[in-house]
Every structure is written in structure tokens, then in C-alpha cells.
Structure 1
Amino acid sequence: MSASKNNKVMPFMKPLILVLNGPNLNMLGTREPTQYGHETLADLAQGCADSALAKGLEIEFRQTNHEGELIYWIHAARGRCAGILINPGAWTHTSVAIRDALVASELPVIEVHLSNVHKREPFRHLSFVSSIAVGVICGLGSHGYRLALSHFAEMFQEQTA
């Protein structure tokens, strides 16, 4: 366990960040490389693990194409994780259930997108997650995940100082 009930990180623990990836992200590297790049999901996971280690964080990196499974993982994070980094994929624009699960987790959330959703189709401009997130990063590829992990590390350093 990395966070107490009020999400403060204990000084002797490495904060655990749940990194969640939604539908079709398992196809990274082959799906629309002009939008998402050539990095695979495994490359992204390794980059996050390396970044987390360097910043004194632990991560659990997960991907699913099943909305209910993602919601279950969010529920299970409450009281166990210090924060959630989420790329909801297409569910960003459609899932009130994921938004509600994130709110119920009572954890800080950072929303990340590999592509700049605001330069794409109008239906991608709406996010059900953004209004409850600490921050939103989009259009920076995998670097956005590393920036989110950096922000979490800074948040938790401030809490333990």
C-alpha cells in the first residue's frame, strides 16, 4: 500500500501509480503510426517503468479492451495506490462509468493521450475524464506518460516534505 486514506504518501513507501490504457492501445506500433507513432505497448510500458524507477515511484501498467475490467482495476486501486495515470483511449469520449469510478477512487488522476485529440475529429474533443483530473497531457506521445509520472513524483515529494 502506498497511500493512506487521504492519499498522502508515507515517507518510507514508494508511491504506487496505476497506469491504465484503454481500447486499441495494445495495437500501438502498427495502428495508425502517423497518429500514435511506432512505439509498441511493451515499449511504452518499459519507458514508464524506467521513468518510475528513476523518480522513486512504482507502477502497475495495464491495458484492456474491456470497459468493465478497467473499472474493476480503478475500484481496486482505492486505498492501495497513490494515483492513477490513465489513457482511456476512445472511452475518453463515451464513458461516464469510467469517470464515476475515477471519482469514487478518491485518487489523483492524470489523463494522458499520445495524440493531440484537439487536432483530430470533433467527437474526440470531449473528455468525460478531464474535469476530474489533476492534469491532462496530450499530443506528446510517450513523453506525456513520463511527464505525468514526473508530476506525481513532485506531488508526493511535497506531501512528505
Structure 2
Amino acid sequence: MKKIIIINGPNLNLLGKREPEIYGSQTFTAYLETLKSKYTHVDLSYYQSNVEGELINKLHEVGFSYDGVILNAGAYTHTSVAIGDAIKGIETPVVEVHISNTFSREEFRHQSYISPNAKGVILGFGMQSYELAIQSI
């Protein structure tokens, strides 16, 4: 059984409430239950934090024992050299995920410090981006 963790960064705890025109109206908790029932052959866990250092700590914790990390670092994608370095320092492959198409948004969202160290990037497919990431692992 593959062991995969989904790690969500800042403000993603507000999914279902925050900007539904961009992020949809479903909470991540509800979506996670859908994923778990569909991928019963995967040991799927979840972690969310609004704090950069906590995200780095979690990457370090799982980065040598899991089969895959699905990471939506939120706005830290565009600002955190430290998260990019954390991904570079671990062995577990990381798939970068975004719900929205970041290239159709503000210019600053076109830069990612995660992409150069990620196994791949999936963006713009709404919550389905997470499912595509599971399939890629």
C-alpha cells in the first residue's frame, strides 16, 4: 500500500468559504473523504498549516518514509526559498498542486520556488488536481 500525504499551506483551511469563484464551494475535508473512499489502496493522510516552518517540519518528517507528497503550498509557492530547499533535501517525490491556474492570475503567481525541485506540477483543474497527483504517484 502506497503511503501518500497531502500537505496544504496557508489559507487552504478556508476552502469552501474563500473566494468560491476561484476555489469552489467544497471544503477540503469533504473532498478528502471522497479521495479516501476512491483510493482505498492508498494510505492517504492530510496536513494543513498556515505557518511556513510547520510545513517545512512536516516535509522533513515524511520526506524519507512516504511514497509521495502532494503539496499545495499556497502563496508560499511564490515566496518560500526555504520550502523549495526542504523539498530538495528530502527523498520522497513531491508533486506540486494548485487548484487554480496560477498562470491566469497575478504576475507574481507565475513564479514557483517549488517547481524546480518537484517531480511534477498540476494546476488549474480545481480540486481534481489532487486526484491527478495521486494518480501520478
Spell out, residue by residue over 1:95-146, the C-alpha distance to the aligned partner (whole angstroms, 9 max, x if none): 0111111111111110010001000000000001111111111110111100
Within the candidate set 34, 43, 49, 2:21 is matched to 34
Q: Contact 1:115–1:138 at 8 Å: present in 2 too?
A: yes
The 5 A counterparts of 1:34-113 are 34-53=21-40, 56-113=41-98
TM-score normalised to the size of structure 1? 0.82
* 1:144 corresponding residue in structure 2: 129
Q: Give how far 1:50 is off.
A: 2.5
| Structure-2 separation of matches of 1:20 and 1:29 | 17
Q: Which runs of 5+ in 1 are unaligned?
A: 1-13, 153-161
| TM-aligned CA deviation for residue 41 of structure 1 | 1.8
Do the aligned partners of 1:51 and 1:149 also contact (CA within 8 Å) in 2?
Answer: no
Q: Is the 8 A contact 2:65 2:92 kept in 1?
A: no
Q: Letter of the aligned partner of 2:123 in structure 1? A: C
With normalisation by structure 2, the TM-score equals 0.95
Aligned equivalent of 2:117: 132
Q: How far apart, in 1, do the equivalents of 2:31 and 2:97 lie?
A: 13
- Compute the RMSD of aligned alpha carbons: 1.0
Unaligned runs of 5+ in 2: none
Q: Structure 1: which 4+ aligned runs deviate by more than 4 Å?
A: none
Q: Flag the structure with higher strand content.
A: 2
The structure that has the greater radius of gyration is 1
| % identical equivalent positions | 44
